[in-house]
Amino acid sequence: MADNDELSSKGHLLALGRAGRAAAQGLAAAPTLGVEEEFLLLDPVSGQVVPAAPELLSRLDGASWAKGELMRFQVEAVTDICTSLGQLRAELATHRRAVAALAEPLGCLLVAAGTAPEGTSGLAHLTPSVRYLELARRSPSLLNGSGTCGCHVHVGVASRELGVQVLNRLRPWLPTLLALSSNSPLTGGGESGWASWRHRMQARWPTARPPPVCPSAAAYDAVVAGLIHRRAALDRPNVKFLARLSPRYPTVEVRVADVCLDLDDAVLLAGLVRALVTTAIQEADDGVPVRAVPAGRLQAAVLAAARHGLDGPGLDPWSGARAAQRGLLERLLSHVEDTLARSGDDQEVATLVGRLDQRGPGAVRQRAVRASGASGGELAAALAGETLAGCADPSGSSSRAPRVVRRPQRWESVWLPADVGFR
C-alpha cells in the first residue's frame, strides 16, 4: 500500500470513533476478558536472573492472583474477570505495582520482557513441582533456555463449539498480534537477531504453532488427544497452540504475544484480542465462511513477525505476498473497527495505537537502551522503569498486595474436568 494511500492507525480509528459512537447505544456488552502476565526478576547490578519467586510469593500470603512459573526467576500475575478495558488497566497496574514493591527488598527488579537480556542458567532454576520435573525428564533440551515470558489474553465465549469457530477465524491475525507485542530481542548479553526471541524459543516445542482449523469441538479435542497420545505434549495444558480453548475455563486463550513492556501496550493487546474474538463471534453467527489460510503459509507469517517485529517486512497470510507489518496492523484495525465502535473501546484503542506508532513495541525500546551502551544492570533498571510506567496508584497510597476477589460465577463452570490446570 502506497504511503499516500495509507491512513495512520490513529487517524483511522479516530474517524471510526466519530462515525460509530452513536451506533453503540443499546447494543450488547463486549465479552468478558482476563489477562495472565509473566515477569522476570532481575538483579539491579548485573541484570542476571534472580531465583527469588518462591520467597516473593510467600510474602503475598497465598494471594490467588500471583503464581509461580516454570523457573524460579519468574512470577505470573492473573487478573480477575474484567468487563472493560478500564477495569483491566487498573488490575494490571495494581499487580505490577504490588509485585515490584515486594521484589525490591529481595534485591531484584520486576521486568516485563519476553526473555532475560543477560540470559539464563538452563535448568538450575527450575521450579521443583511434580509437573515441571516430569517435563524436564521428558524434554531436558527443550527446557534449556526456557523461562520466557508471555501475555495470555482470555476472552469469554458461550460454548466450546463457538470457541472453535472463533479460533478458526483468529488464526490469520496471530502474526500481527505477535509483531505488535514483540518484546524479546536480547539474550545472553547481546542481540538475538529476532524481535521476539521468546517465540523462537517457544517454537522448539512441537505444539507451539497456530491452532488447526477444526469443524467442531469434538474434532479439536481429537487433535489435542492425538498430540498427547504421541507424546508431543505432556497433557492438555502443555499443548502450546498460539491460540486455544482454555483447558479449564470457558474462554478462548490467545497465547502468541510476548509480555508487553508497559501497561499501555498490554491494554492495547487485550483490547484488540477481545475485538477480534467479538468480530469472529459475529461472523460465526452470520454464517460468514472461514477464509482458507494454509498452515505452512500462516506459520511463515508468524516467523516473519517474530523475526522482524512491527517495523519490518511481513507475510500476508491470505495471499502469501510480502507485506509491511504496519500495513497488516492497519488491516487488522479495519477488520475490527465496527466492533470497537460498538463496545466503546475505539477512542482508547486509537490513543494506544498512536502511542505504539510513536514509540514502537518493546523490542524497539529494548534495543535502543542496549545501543546506548547500557550495562546489564542499567538495562534492567530501565526496563523495570518501563514495566511500572503508568502504574502509579491514583489514591497515592503506598504499594501493597491487592485484595483477593472471587471470580464471577460465569467463569467458574468448566468445560473439562476440574483437575486440568489453568495454564
pLDDT in tens, 208-231: 999 999 999 999 999 999 999 999
Cα distance between residue 254 and residue 161, in whole Å: 17
Q: Residue 26: what pLDDT?
A: 28
Residues 32-73 pLDDT 10s = 999 999 999 999 999 999 999 999 999 998 789 999 999 999
- Which of 14-18, 113-117, 271-275 bottoms out in mean pLDDT, i.e. has the lowest? 14-18
In the predicted model, what is the mean pLDDT of residues 4-18?
33
Q: Residue 248: what pLDDT?
A: 86
Cα distance between residue 106 and residue 72, in whole Å: 13
Q: Residue 29: what pLDDT?
A: 67
Under a CB-based contact definition with an 8 Å cutoff, are residues 384 and 50 in contact?
A: no
Residues 335-367 pLDDT 10s = 999 999 999 999 999 999 999 999 999 999 999
pLDDT band at 121 (very low <50, low <70, confident <90, very high): confident
Instruction: Write the CA distances from 330 to 20, 128, 235, 319, integer angstroms.
Output: 18, 44, 37, 16
Instruction: Write the CA distances from 94 to 108, 156, 174, 395, 398, integer angstroms.
Output: 18, 22, 28, 12, 11
Q: Residue 22: what pLDDT?
A: 32
Residues 6+ apart with CB under 8 A from 230: none
Residues 353-411 pLDDT 10s = 999 999 999 999 999 999 999 999 999 999 999 999 999 886 665 444 433 333 333 44
Taking the CA atoms of 255, 256, 259 and 264 in sequence, report the sign of the dihedral they define: negative
pTM for the complete prediction? 0.88
Mean pLDDT score of the chain, rounded to an integer? 88
Q: Residue 397: what pLDDT?
A: 53
Higher pLDDT, 25 or 82: 82
277 pLDDT more than 70: yes
412 pLDDT more than 80: no
Rg (CA), the chain: 20
pLDDT band at 288 (very low <50, low <70, confident <90, very high): very high
Residues 159-195 pLDDT 10s = 999 999 999 999 999 999 999 999 999 999 999 999 9
Percent of the chain with pLDDT over 70: 86
pLDDT band at 27 (very low <50, low <70, confident <90, very high): very low
Residues in the chain: 423
Q: Residue 173: what pLDDT?
A: 98
Higher pLDDT, 5 or 379: 379
pLDDT band at 10 (very low <50, low <70, confident <90, very high): very low
Q: Residue 95: what pLDDT?
A: 97
Cβ-based burial of 124 (10 A; exposed 0-12, middle 13-18, buried ≥19): exposed
